[in-house]
Structure 1
Amino acid sequence: MLQQFHALDLDADVSLPSLHRSGYSALALDAIERRYLLAGTHSGHLGIYDVQSLALPLPLLAQIRARGEYGHQALINDVQWFPLDTGLFVSSDMRGLVKVWDTNRAVVVEQFAGFRHVFGHGICVTPSGSCLVAIAGGDKHVHLCDIRSGARTHSLAGHTRAVLALQWSPANEHLLVTGSRDNTIRLWDVRKARAMLTQLDMGNDDQASLHARTSAPAHSGHVNGLTFSSDGQTLVSTCCVARQIHTWDMRTLRRHLTVFSGIKPSQAHTRRMRILESAGRPYLLYPNASDLVLYDLWDGGAPVRTMRGHYHPISCLVADEAAPYVITGSGDPELLTWRPYRPEGPAEARDEFQLPHHLPIALDDEDNWSEDEEPAPAPRAGGNGR
């Protein structure tokens, strides 16, 4: 499968009209059917696309406008489907609001407010039935809220500056990992009164025991990106200011001594990325300014693949390894679709290779492009592979 991702290229034949001209800031693909794409924009609009059905002439299934009865009024920084079904989703914005939505009715059924900014959130369903959302709310605490009861359960204290990134472990539903402006990555067991377990230490190349470290930087600057491998054994963290990508073995808490080159500086508050796996070997799909690059997490070095198409820095992405395809969003008014390039063959072969999706046609409203406005430039064609 990864060999197919090595051949990723911009699919100029798939047109993804804009949900709004402000561009995209958050994307999420449902984990159950891999069919429904949730999108948030810089202006606060939300949309749900059907990315697999050829039968629907308008695969934009729902559109929630900014500043409406339920809509956001600021940049949407994160969106996430409820893990067990697509009946609920959660969105958060830079004005400090976290909204829980009923998908079918497109209404807010719960809201958490009072945060300075929300840089990101993460949902976890525990075996006991609790549904917790962890919130990076623009301060040095991590806030935990129960979606079912609507209550704030508690806060995790330990960081000394604002929390920018967080991820629940896919291997342990009680383990939360957070990254902060204080240059640290902290591990928490949310069941415990003294929840902080330890900090990851960028200088640690020995077997680490699981005990609290009080002064262990994970990066030379702000930690603004975290992502796990699907088995939870590998964690990738980023520091865009220092142009660092670190890879951690979560069994030993050691940092792999892998150096990545070609990383461009970025002022992004948060960095979205994705680990792809093939035959036990991990690769990182990474937004490198306006380029989409693929790194070998074991070998490091320069990207094994560089793809160009966006004019503005990429802010969000989703990947479906089974299809396979990648969809990326940026400050550009259109989403871009990437899929493995294959030379054209017989018509039957081309038909078999077509991804089962026509992606959305924008609904007409006052916020879309008008005839008097200058159209956006077309995406730059082609990938630049190595």
Structure 2
Amino acid sequence: MLGLIWARQAGLDDPLRLRRAEATRRVLSLELNKDRDVERIHGSGINTLDIEPVEGRYMLSGGSDGVIVLYDLENLTRETSYTCKALCSVGRSHPDVHKFSVETVQWYPHDTGMFTSSSFDKTLKIWDTNTLKSADAFHFKETVYSHHMSPVATNHSLVAVGTKSPKVQLCDLKSGSFSHILQGKKYWQWLGPHVMNMFWQQEGSADGRVKLWDVRRASGCLSTLDQHNGEKSKASSEAANSAHTGRVNGLCYTNDGLHLLTTGTDDRMRLWNSFTGENTLVNYGKVCNESRKGLKFTISCGCDPEFAFVPYGSTIAVYTVFTGELITMLRGHYTAVNCCVFQPNFQELYSGSRDCNILAWIPALREPVPDDVSEKFLPQQHLNPAYEDAWSSSDDEG
């Protein structure tokens, strides 16, 4: 690390390299923070978490009790030990509270003044953060399992809603009405600016397929992911043209959008090329997955390599995304972990569980560097080879 700092100061190396190296070190040293608590508000399991992308300071949580809580993650006390306080909550006595379990909460991608929530009570609600009142609500005939907004779209304000019905509905926030419908299997989630993805069909009857959609073309999907990459001779009749042999209950794009991670109840996690739709065949081993609901996992940002944080029973498994190596298991919850979210500004991780707790995982403190360290101890191998001194005295010998 000292070599990277020296190279950056001397202008011999890319500053981004130092940033990635430090971010990677911090992620690899994540541990349960014993000095930071998150105020306990929920009376039942926590299903979903989301940190706003503007400042990375405020976090939403949604629970099986229908309660939504807004937290401030910043340490305003400047003390070593502190508690992340709940700024406000939509409790059971709130007039607009969800009647049943909240399955998904999401900040509006471009402004912290609004967030969305969906619930088993067959509604999608749009909230005004300042007044904590429901500004609009969309009602569905079937149970709502998930919803999502594109984090990068600027030309539209569509919210994709997945229900028990075999179709996905697109809600337009500008007009307050339904935009159009994509016909397909059950339970969907928005993945990108113009792409949809099928999760799983409920009640154990899923076919394990993952379909990619262009929302501008409602007539049919763009492609269906195949775990065998079209080699039908190696595929059984049941697994042919499917992403998993069980229900697909978790997915997440890498931050550059070039790859997609999916998890299924077949205890497998697969990495897909977003452009070609091919299974990259990365082996993550057995990824224990007994969840009957959506499993919300996350991927790091700004690291080299990138890491995936996946709920694994009562623990969180940390994998390298592109090699499949299991780095560590984060232990701290008492019961099954339902969700986790990554805070990229400070390389922190927050997780929610059925035990009603939200835990904060932060990088371990670095050991202080002695004052008597001189430049001769700096690791020169980190320098760009193009700037190394290749001069030799033998060049002057006749």
TM-score norm. by structure 1 comes to 0.80
Which residue matches 2:189? Answer: 166
The equivalent position to 1:28 in structure 2, one of 50, 53, 56, is 50
Q: Which aligned pairs between 1:3-42 and structure 2 lie closer than 5 A?
A: 3-42=25-64
Report the Cα offset of residue 62 of structure 1: 1.3
1:127–1:271: structure 2 CA closer, same or farther, 3 Å change rule? Answer: closer
Q: What secondary structure is seen at the aligned counterpart in 2 of 1:48?
A: strand
Aligned residue identity for 2:31: D
The correspondence of residues 112-261 of structure 1 with structure 2, limited to 5 A, is: 112-124=138-150, 129-159=155-185, 162-163=186-187, 165-169=188-192, 173-181=193-201, 182-204=207-229, 216-239=241-264, 241-261=265-285
**In the alignment, is the contact (CA less than 8 A) between 1:133 and 1:144 conserved in 2?**
yes
Letter in 1 for 2:132: A
How far apart are 1:10 and its partner, in Å? 0.7
Does 1:330 pair with 2:353? yes
**Quick one: distance in 2 between partners of 1:44 and 1:344?**
43
2:113 is equivalent to residue 90 of structure 1: no
Q: Deviations over 1:317-354 (max 9, x none)?
A: 111122121111111122111011236659xxxxxxxx
Does the 8 Å CA contact 1:2/1:276 hold for their aligned counterparts? no
Which amino acid letter does the alignment assign opposite residue 337 of structure 1?
Answer: A
Alpha-carbon spacing, 1:103–1:277, altered in 2? closer, same or farther (3 Å): closer
CA drift at 1:175: 2.0
Q: Choose from 107, 113, 116 the match for 1:81.
A: 107
The match for 2:339 among 307, 316, 330 is 316
> 1:281/1:125 Cα in 2 relative to 1: closer, same or farther (>3 Å)?
closer
Quick one: distance in 1 between partners of 2:286 and 2:117? 32
Structure richer in helix, relative to its length: 2
Tell me what 2:364 maps to: 341
Q: Which moved more, 1:226-235 or 1:113-122?
A: 113-122
Q: CA deviation at 1:130?
A: 2.4
Which residue of structure 1 lines up, in the alignment, with residue 379 of structure 2?
none
CA change 1:237–1:115 in 2 (3 A) is farther
Which has the higher Rg, Structure 1 or Structure 2?
Answer: 2
Paired residues of 1:125 and 1:131 also in contact (CA < 8 A) = no
Retained in 2: the 8 A contact 1:21–1:332? no
**Among 282, 298, 303, which residue is 1:274 paired with?**
298
In structure 2, C-alpha distance between the alignment counterparts of 1:50 and 1:143, rounded to whole Å: 33
- Aligned-partner Cα distance in 1 for 2:315–2:324: 17
The answer as to 2:128 corresponding to 1:102 is yes
Runs of 5+ unmatched residues, structure 2: 1-22, 202-206, 232-239, 370-398
1:91·1:98 contact (CA, 8 Å) conserved in 2?
Answer: yes
Q: Which runs of 5+ in 1 are unaligned?
A: 207-214, 347-386
Structure 1 range deviating more: 102-111 or 146-155: 146-155
Native 8 Å contact 2:150 2:190 kept in 1: no
1:180 CA drift (Å): 2.4
Against the structure 1 CA distance between its residues 226 and 192, is the aligned structure 2 distance closer, same or farther, given a 3 Å change threshold?
same
Report the secondary structure of 1:119's partner residue: strand
Task: Give the secondary-structure state (helix, strand or coil) at the position aligned to 1:83.
Answer: coil
Question: How far apart, in 1, do the equivalents of 2:305 and 2:275 lie?
Answer: 16
Amino acid at match of 2:200: S
Offset at 1:147? 1.3
Deviates most, 140-149 or 122-131: 122-131
Give, as a single letter, the amino acid of the residue that structure 1 aligns with 2:195.
Answer: L
Shift of 1:141: 0.9
Q: Runs (4+) of structure 1 moved beyond 4 Å?
A: 55-58, 125-128, 277-280, 343-346
For each residue in 1:38-95, what CA deviation from the matched residue of structure 2 results, as whole angstroms up to 9, or x when unmatched? 1111101111111114159983211111353100111110000011101110001112
Give the Cα separation in 2 of the matches to 1:58 and 1:324: 17
For the aligned residue pairs, the C-alpha RMSD in angstroms reads 2.2
| 2:84 is equivalent to residue 61 of structure 1 | no
Give the length in aligned residue pairs.
330
Indicate if the aligned counterparts of 1:167 and 1:228 stay in contact, CA closer than 8 A.
no
Deviations along 1:263-285, whole A, 9 cap, x unmatched?
Answer: 22313311111122455533211
Structure possessing the higher relative contact order (Cα contacts under 8 Å, 6 or more residues apart): 1
> Given that residues 125 and 132 in structure 1 are in contact (C-alpha distance below 8 angstroms), is that contact kept between their aligned partners in structure 2?
no
What TM-score comes out, normalization by structure 2 length?
Answer: 0.78
How far did 1:176 drift? Answer: 2.1
